[in-house]
Structure 1
Amino acid sequence: MRGLTWDHPRGHAPLDELTRLDLAGPNPYGDVPEPIEWDRQPLEGFESEPIATLCASYDVLVIDHPGLGAALDSLVPMDELFSPPELADFRARTVGRSYESYHLDGRQWALPLDAATQVAAAWPGTHIPETWPETVEFARAGGRLALCLGGPHAFLMFCALCSGDFLDREAGLRALELMAELLALADPEISLRNPIGVLDAMAAGGPDLCPLVYGYATYPLAFADAPSWPGRAPGSVLGGTGLAVSKSRVHDAGTRDAVRAHLRRLLSEPVQTGLFPATGGQPAARSAWDASGFYRDTRDTVEAAWIRPRFPGYIGRQERTSALLRDGLTARRPVRDLLDDLHREWT
C-alpha cells in the first residue's frame, strides 16, 4: 500500500514511526494487515497538485480541505468504509470544526488527522497582545514584528481579519488598513515567508511577535489565541489535514479492510495523544487539545476557526487573491483600490 503526506516532520514523522513499528512487529499501537509506504510532497503541493491526480498513485492521502471540491469523484466516501456510529464517534473526538471541514455535498470525504489554525506566536517572555489595536501599539512602541504573507497567507490573514466574511466592504477596508499599517512596521523580508519560514526566523532570534500564523506545537516559542477586534471573538482560518482514500486504488474488500485498519489506528486515542506529540505531530483529537502549553493556549481559536470554501477552482483563486494583496500591500497601493481588485476577482 502507498500513502502520500507532506514533507515537514509534523506531516511524516508519526506515520513513518508507525510503519517502522509495523515492520518490526508487533506494533504496540495495534497491528494492521499491511504496512503503508509513505511518500512526501512539499507543503505547497496541497495547492499545486490536484488530489484527483494523486489518487491514481496512492491508496491513502493526507489532504487539505480546500482542495476537496475538485476531488469528490476520485475519493471513497467515508460512509462506505465506516458505520454511522463510528463516524459519529470520530466527529465527537475531533477538536473544533476539523471533521466538518471534510464534509461536503452531504457526505464525509476525509477524516481529520491533524488540526491547526492561525494563532499568535512570540518569543518566550514577550507580551502577546490580545487585540489588533494592542498589536499596532506593540509595533509602534518598537516591538519586533513580522506578518505571514507568503503563498496563500496574505489572503488567509485578510479572511481571518474579516471573520470569514471577506466580501463585506466595511470589514475588508478595516482589515486592509490594519494589514498595511502593520506591514509598514514589520520586518519586510520575513513577512513575505510562509508559516514555517516565519517560525524558523523567530526561533532563530528574529522577530519577537507574529500576530497571526499557523501554529506548530514543536517550535520553542510562546503561542496564544489570535488577536481579536475589541468586543469580538478571535478570527482565524482553519488549517490542518485529513485522511482521504483513493477510489481508483481502494476497491476490493481486502484493500478496504486494510485501509480501515490504518485509519482507525491513526485516529485512535493512543496514537493521537501519545505517538503524535512524541514524534512531532499535531493531533486533531479533542483530548490532545485539553493538554497544557501550546494546545490549551490556542484551543479557543481552533474551536472557532472559519472553514474555507471548497468549490472546484477555489485554490487557484486563493493563490491569485493572495498575490494581489501581497503585491499591493508591498507597493503601498491605496487599500480601497486593492479591495476593488479583490471584489472583481470574486464577483
Structure 2
Amino acid sequence: MASSPLLRLVSAALLALLAHAMAGAPAAAADPGRGQARPNADKNSIGIRLLEIPANRTDDPRSHLFIVDHVNPATTFSRRFEVHNASNEPQHLQLYAAGAGISHGRFTFAPERTPNELSSWIKLNRAAIDLPPHDRASVKATVAVPTWAPKGERYAVIWAEVSAAGAGKQEGITVVNRVGIRTYLDVGPGGEPPTDFRIGEIVPQRTEDGQPRIQATVANTGERAIDLEGQLSLSDGPSSLSAGPVPVDRGTTLAPGQQATVTIQLGEDLPDGPWKFSLTLTSGRIDRTQTGTLTFPQKSGTWGLAASTDSPLTLPLALAALVTLIAGASLLIARRFHTRRKSPAAPSHGGDLT
C-alpha cells in the first residue's frame, strides 16, 4: 500500500528536527573551579583555608573552599583548617563559629558572634592563637549533630578575627578584620539531596554610562544551596566579531527554592549585535549551559528585549509532540483501511435476462 501523504509529511518533519538537534544542541561546559584568594599584605592581614576535604567530594570545587556535607542526625565529624598571619607583625587571632544565612541571592553573616543552631554544634580546639609574622597554625573544628536535629540544610561561618586600634584611636575606634570558612550542612536520613538549578530569562542592557551588560535569572530547583559562577561567550556578531569568555560576577548564592539574577559586565566598545551567546553557570559539580541570540539596546540606561534562547526543553517537547502526531496519523490510517475492508461490495449491474 502506498504511503499516506500525512505520514510522509510527519516523517519528514521528524527527520528535520533530529538533524537540527544534532547540529545545534548546547554542550555542557567543564567546571573550571576557582582558587583560594590570597590575603592582602597589610598590617592586620590574615588568611584562612581548609586542610581537609571528604574523599567523596574531592571533585567538588566548593568543598575545597567551604565545609559542604550531608550527615544523619547523631553524627559527629571534624575538619582541620589553617590560619595564616600574612603581615609583618605578630597577631592575636580570635577563633569562633557564628550564624549565617542566605537572603536575596547572597550568603549573609550574622553580626559579630551571633550564634544559630549550626554554629552551636561547632566546637574549635583553640579559641585563640598568637601567630608570629608570616606564621601559620592548624585548628580542628568538630561538628556534633544532635539526635533530635530535624531534616534540612543549615549555614554558619568559622571565623578568624584580629582587632587593632584604627586611625580614630582617640575616639576609641577599633578596626576588626576577620576571615572565615562557610559551612553548608544538610541533615537528614538517607542519601544526599539533589543539587540542581535552572537558567531562566536572559536580558541585555546598557548601563547609565553606556556599558553593555547581561542579567540572567537563575532558580535553585534542587534541595541544596548553590554558589554560582561561570562565563559568557559571544559569537557571530557584526562583521563576524566574537567576544569572551567573560566571567560572571561572583557572589550569588541561592538556598533551595530561591531565585536571583547573575550579572555579566562586558566591554564598552561592544556593538549592539545581534549576537549568538553561550552562557555557562556552575555550582560545585553541577553546570548548566544556555545558548541563543541577543541584541543590546542602543540607548544608555535602557533594557533590551529578552534573549531568544535555545531551551533544552524545546527538543524533548517537540519530539513528544511529533510522536503523538505520528501515533494519531497511524491510527487514522489504520481506521480508514479497516473501514474500506468492511464496506459491502457494490452490486453488479449486468443486463436483464429474458
TM-score, length of structure 1 as denominator length:
0.21
Question: Larger helix proportion, structure 1 or 2?
Answer: 1
Question: Larger strand proportion, structure 1 or 2?
Answer: 2
RCO (CA 8 Å, sep 6+): is it higher in 1 or 2?
A: 1
TM-score, length of structure 2 as denominator length:
0.21
